[in-house]
Structure 1
Amino acid sequence: MATSPQRRQKQLAKKKVKRKAMVSAKKMVDKFGGLFSQAAFKNVPIYECLAPSELFELGIGTVVIARKMPNGDIGVSFFMLDVFCLGVKNAFFAEFTLQEYRQKLWELGEHESMQTISPACARKLIEDCAVYAKNLGFSPVPDYTKAKMVFGDTKADECPEDFEFGKDGKPLYVIGPFDTPEKSKKILKQLDKTCGQGEFHYVTGVEPFDEEKEFKT
């Protein structure tokens, strides 16, 4: 039976709306690595969480939160933390095959001694570090907003540990190899403003590790 022009137009209109919705959803998926809200991660099981065993001795290191995605891949966020001063220095979320993920961990293990940490403590460590730096006047990197979606519904208040930031009770700014004189001057000026003279420390000539290599995907 032939379809009337009016009915045909309605069918085309419905298909157009459906296509538009599918394209919009795909853009969201592409933008956020498969999931587009923190709430969506609550049904994605934690695969593992890792943190450097010497994080508070060295002052800088990478915290890893990984989840097992529905397709079998590993959805993981890496957070580079400066627990002495600057907070979340770098962060990104990505999806890897299990083999690719293990390769990333192997590369990470070349200069960091990683140990298992509970999901609650991983989230608390990252968020508390960000708050500490924020109170000094330093905001997390923009990609932190995307990377922290991996927290899902993990509750930081379930972590029994308390983390102490800074060094010997005061912020310690470690001037790294990628900090230009202009950047260092700006950071020191901010510390002087928020802490006051003599209420923070800084050291030069320290090279924790190559941030560019560390966060190459």
Structure 2
Amino acid sequence: MKFVAYVDPGRWLLPSRGVLKMTDDALLDQVRQMREQGRSPKQIAKELGLRPAAVASLVRQVAILQQSHDNPADRVLLGCWISPGWSVGLGLDETPPTWAALDPLGTAKSRLAGLANVLIVRQERASRVTACGFLVDVYCLGVKDAVGPLPMGSSAIEQFGRKFFSAFDDPPVSVPLELAQAVVHGAAAYARTLGFEPHPDFDAAAPYLGAPAAPSPIRFGREGKPFYISGPYDKPRNVHDTLETTVGAGNYDYMVHI
């Protein structure tokens, strides 16, 4: 997995003499862009010819506005990866034809069939990024775990990605954002029909993934049928009782590790 940092090449050119006059909104927007390019308040003050205290106040206003109005899904997407074997047992007949080709293990038997790890990375500023990850049970439980948003330096993504996908024997696959959204949100919606809600940390990470424009075209479950495979932190009896209520006996399969 290779990571390339995105740097906005735009730069504001200011007059070398005289006083720069602009509206408050224009000044705030200029400070915002300079902060996104990695400039410190001291550098901004020098370039704009303003007092450091005035720039500090503007920087605080920019931070407040971003927290109030910034949509994480609008930030530059630097990468989106999924674990190989994610499509084993799923119905892809209504998905774009390229999706199946993006899974090198789509027709192979895998010890981790039914599980998919999804990782996305978005730009924060010149040398800072945010990562969010999802552990997805595509056969039954939906989003079993989520991590993030995790801010980090751009140089840390490679190591973080290796750790995040360390349970899988093969390297992760780079995929379009639309595919990742269809897997994560689609599995969560499928699990809800079976009586299972996403992991509590899903709400914090989901805005960085963004919502799909349409319902997922993937058919979840193993060959279209709920299939529960117990994990080390599950409560199999609770899952069994829920499936008995929502789909009924004989309408699901399960495997419990002893």
Q: TM-score, normalised by structure 1?
A: 0.70
Per-residue CA deviation, residues 49-89 of structure 1 (Å, 9 max, x unaligned), is 11112013310121111111114222111010000100000
Give the match for residue 62 of structure 1.
117
**CA 1:175 to 1:189, structure 2 compared with 1: closer, same or farther past 3 Å?**
same
Q: 1:47 aligns with which of 78, 95, 118?
A: 78
Give the match for residue 196 of structure 1.
248
Q: CA deviation at 1:204?
A: 1.8
Residue identity in the other structure for 1:198: G
Residue identity in the other structure for 2:228: Y
**Quick one: percent identity of the two aligned structures?**
26
Per-residue CA deviation, residues 80-124 of structure 1 (Å, 9 max, x unaligned), is 000010000001211121232211111234332310111122112
Give the match for residue 125 of structure 1.
183
Give the Cα separation in 1 of the matches to 2:245 and 2:69. Answer: 35
**CA 1:82 to 1:155, structure 2 compared with 1: closer, same or farther past 3 Å?**
closer
Give secondary structure in 2 for the equivalent of 1:55. Answer: coil
Residue identity in the other structure for 1:191: L
Structure 1 residues 142-157: aligned runs within 5 Å: 142-152=200-210, 155-157=212-214
Q: CA deviation at 1:42?
A: 4.5
Structure 1 gaps of 5+ residues are: 1-18, 30-34, 207-217
**Aligned residue pairs, count:** 172
Give the match for residue 94 of structure 2.
none
Structure 1 residues 61-210: aligned runs within 5 Å: 61-93=116-148, 94-112=150-168, 113-152=171-210, 155-157=212-214, 162-179=217-234, 183-205=235-257
Is the Cα–Cα contact under 8 Å of residues 48 and 66 in structure 1 kept in the other structure? yes
RMSD of aligned alpha carbons = 2.7
Q: CA deviation at 1:168?
A: 2.2
**CA 1:199 to 1:43, structure 2 compared with 1: closer, same or farther past 3 Å?**
closer
Give the Cα separation in 2 of the matches to 1:121 and 1:37. Answer: 29
Give the Cα separation in 1 of the matches to 2:125 and 2:76. Answer: 9
Is the Cα–Cα contact under 8 Å of residues 37 and 149 in structure 1 kept in the other structure? no
Give the Cα separation in 1 of the matches to 2:68 and 2:222. Answer: 35
**CA 1:137 to 1:119, structure 2 compared with 1: closer, same or farther past 3 Å?**
same
Give the Cα separation in 2 of the matches to 1:173 and 1:75. Answer: 32
**CA 1:155 to 1:166, structure 2 compared with 1: closer, same or farther past 3 Å?**
closer
Query: Hey, which bits of structure 1, 4+ residues long, moved more than 2 A?
Result: 35-43, 108-113, 154-157
Residue identity in the other structure for 1:193: T
**CA 1:185 to 1:42, structure 2 compared with 1: closer, same or farther past 3 Å?**
closer
Give the Cα separation in 1 of the matches to 2:154 and 2:224. Answer: 41
Q: TM-score, normalised by structure 2?
A: 0.60
Is the Cα–Cα contact under 8 Å of residues 121 and 156 in structure 1 kept in the other structure? no
Per-residue CA deviation, residues 138-174 of structure 1 (Å, 9 max, x unaligned), is 001111111011034x6444x9x83121112211111
Give the Cα separation in 1 of the matches to 2:139 and 2:246. Answer: 15
